[in-house]
Structure 1
Amino acid sequence: MNRFLTAAVAATAGVAMAGEAAATEWNVSLWGKRRAFTEHVEKLAELVAEKTGGEFTLNISYGGLSKNKENLDGISIGAFEMAQFCAGYHRDKNPSITVLELPFLGVNTLDEEVAVANAVYAHPAVQADLARWNAKLLMTSPMPQYNIVGTGEPRDELAEFKDMRVRATGGIGKAFSAVGAVPTSVTATEAYNAMESGVVDTVAFAQHAHLAFGTINRADWWTANLNPGTVNCPVVVNTDAYEALSDAERAALDSSVEEAIDHYLTNYGALLEKWDSVLAEKGVEKITISDDQLAEFHKVAADPIRAQWIEDMTAQGLPAQELYDLVQKTLSDHRSGS
């Protein structure tokens, strides 16, 4: 090859490399499979690519980049640019957002879940907490109140929860522990096998997860109104990667969050509407807990666990009472429309 041809080839390659460099690709670490819980991330990827003409893409991986309990660690070292995780998987790494996992917090709808999460995520102490992991909170993954599926005879009284082995994490696990149950924090992807092998008797999940991870297929019954709380699962981005985006890319990402959440809420709402038909199809009995039993559960679990959380988090230097009060004020404001 003569030197002129060599120079031409090199120049062409340089243009190609420059073109490739102009495109931005982010790797996104999720787990399990595509489901209602991940629809906002899928929608976000679609919107970002659309707004940037394909110059900014999110490559979503379901378990191929990291284990779910290690996603925050992966974000901290820049192993990938975006990830979803649940606070209850590693409470010591993200203590501030565990306020959203306190049992019987009073959140009733997915819209309320979004409102309180957004308020907490915006608090400076929470942002500083996640910044220790080089993580920037992007959006929440709103879920309805958890309920349990179980095998054998239904358990509809608190006395029957004693020694019950339940898959439950975070504040929900603490709530069950308060009434004598034995919580275990196996991951969502391990829950079916734990139920099948008898490691647990019951599993606490939101509806989508009972479907996605197959626990509903082993269930004889489901509690319709236990509602002990839910878990908080943020989507975060690596701070360095976020700051390295161009202004246009950052605008495309930030401006897509609200629409992605709206899509998630619509999709999840459709799932909830068909839940009763799912139970009937699978022969799962719907169990209703009496008001007296629910009141007792609240008394035993809600106040003591909240008080202990505030004491423990305050000792760690967090404005715990302020964060709890922020949740309650946000709920009040949201309901009044202010």
Structure 2
Amino acid sequence: MKKFLGKACLTAMALTFTGEAVAADWNVSLWGKRRAFTEHVEKLAELVEQKTKGEFKLNISYGGLSKNKENLDGISIGAFEMAQFCAGYHRDKNPTITVAELPFLGVSSLVEERKISQKLYKHPAVIKDLARWNATLLMPSPMPQYNIAGIGDAPKSLDDFKGLSVRATGGIGAAMKAVGAVPTSMSASEVRQALDGGVIKAVAFAQHAHMAFGTVEKATWWTTNLNPGTVNCPVVVNTDALADLKPAHRDALLGSVDEALDHYIDNYNNKTMKKWGPTLKERGIQEVTFGDAALTGLKAKVATPAAQSWIKQNTEKGLPAQELYDFFTGMIGK
């Protein structure tokens, strides 16, 4: 595709000799289906259209524009103007933001996840990292700590994870590996088929994804408090597309981010999480809770080595890894 199709795709022009305002349509690449994970993008589209009286529209596509692991590539060539992706899907493409995916960081809430991610996205090294893809980070997709849903016999202790094939990405995968599990990285949309086919026996997801991608329809058990970490899934825009917006449209977009995130968090906390407990009970899914001593031992075994490894690997790539780690972790709990 020619970049921006001569910019007609980027800002669909609607000019007349009577001086009508310039209209713009942006294409937005998501995946799966509308769910808690995409509510901020849906709200953003609603707000932008309202504020611009229909002049600027975000056309949201769930899988019709790109594969989820290729959304950042699509942004880089201008195939679409906005997209969502998860850092753990392609760690080498966005190493700076993978600091947020390290295991057992201790982020306590969606509000905290939002706050520190937004600050991370403004760090000069992060901006430079994403600029390689002609991408500007717009907003995070805050998620709670992941936990594991699986089939078969429920684990009675952490030792029972040995040999278990688990869909787990990023730092969560490192935590699973530390207890002897076999972590497998795959996109969310591939999980149900892999579970049905026996490729994996368990899945690490946030609650909304367990419901949206059907793992609760197969699961027999769920860990309530393993809390190994979460993934960082930003929404990005093509930098050139953002620059080419007329000021009023750019202001409408950027000025709607906080309200969209407020809506996202309210929806997650007051709708999605209220469905989770009843869903487990309705399906007879056994809840597995681990003792404090076991979890403390796991954190000690995983957290520090994972952080040290991340710092070493990314320092060797020429990134200010220690600075990024200190910057991110220094905001947790404050």
TM over 0.5: yes
Residue 43 of structure 1 and its aligned partner are, at CA, apart by: 0.1
Mapping for residues 206-221 of structure 1, pairs under 5 Å: 206-221=206-221
Aligned to 2:5: none
Amino acid at match of 2:222: W
Amino acid at match of 1:119: K
Segment drifting more, 294-303 vs 241-250: 294-303
Superposed CA deviations along residues 190-217 of structure 1, whole A, max 9, x for unmatched, are 1011111110010000000000000011
Ranges in structure 1 where 5+ consecutive residues have no aligned partner:
1-13, 334-338
Aligned to 1:182: 182
Aligned to 1:292: 293
Aligned to 1:71: 71
In structure 2, C-alpha distance between the alignment counterparts of 1:160 and 1:16, rounded to whole Å: 69
- 1:92 counterpart SS class: coil
Mapping for residues 292-311 of structure 1, pairs under 5 Å: 292-311=293-312
In structure 2, C-alpha distance between the alignment counterparts of 1:106 and 1:18, rounded to whole Å: 58
In structure 2, C-alpha distance between the alignment counterparts of 1:35 and 1:139, rounded to whole Å: 17
Amino acid at match of 2:64: G
Indicate how the Cα distance of structure 1 residues 290 and 51 shifts in structure 2: closer, same or farther if over 3 A, else same: same
Flag the structure with larger Rg. Answer: 1
Amino acid at match of 1:214: G
Aligned to 1:280: 281
Mapping for residues 17-32 of structure 1, pairs under 5 Å: 22-32=22-32
- 1:240 counterpart SS class: helix
Residue 329 of structure 1 and its aligned partner are, at CA, apart by: 2.1
Segment drifting more, 294-303 vs 20-29: 20-29
Asked whether the equivalents of residues 179 and 301 of structure 1 are also in contact (C-alpha less than 8 Å), the reply is no
Aligned to 2:268: 268
Asked whether the equivalents of residues 119 and 326 of structure 1 are also in contact (C-alpha less than 8 Å), the reply is no
- 1:274 counterpart SS class: helix
In structure 1, C-alpha distance between the alignment counterparts of 2:264 and 2:200, rounded to whole Å: 30
Percent identity, aligned pairs only?
63
> 1:111 aligned to 2:119?
no
TM (norm. structure 2) is 0.93
Asked whether the equivalents of residues 107 and 333 of structure 2 are also in contact (C-alpha less than 8 Å), the reply is no
Residue 17 of structure 1 and its aligned partner are, at CA, apart by: 9.1
Superposed CA deviations along residues 167-191 of structure 1, whole A, max 9, x for unmatched, are 0111111221122111111110010
In structure 2, C-alpha distance between the alignment counterparts of 1:167 and 1:176, rounded to whole Å: 9
Alignment RMSD? 1.5
TM (norm. structure 1) is 0.92
Aligned to 1:4: none
Aligned to 2:83: 83
Runs ≥4 residues deviating over 6 A:
17-21
Asked whether the equivalents of residues 36 and 264 of structure 2 are also in contact (C-alpha less than 8 Å), the reply is yes
In structure 2, C-alpha distance between the alignment counterparts of 1:166 and 1:15, rounded to whole Å: 54
Residue 15 of structure 1 and its aligned partner are, at CA, apart by: 6.2
Amino acid at match of 1:157: S
Residue 325 of structure 1 and its aligned partner are, at CA, apart by: 1.2
- Indicate the structure with greater helix content: 1
Indicate how the Cα distance of structure 1 residues 253 and 152 shifts in structure 2: closer, same or farther if over 3 A, else same: same
Ranges in structure 2 where 5+ consecutive residues have no aligned partner:
1-13
Mapping for residues 223-262 of structure 1, pairs under 5 Å: 223-262=223-262
Aligned to 1:147: 147
In structure 2, C-alpha distance between the alignment counterparts of 1:227 and 1:43, rounded to whole Å: 29
Indicate how the Cα distance of structure 1 residues 133 and 268 shifts in structure 2: closer, same or farther if over 3 A, else same: same
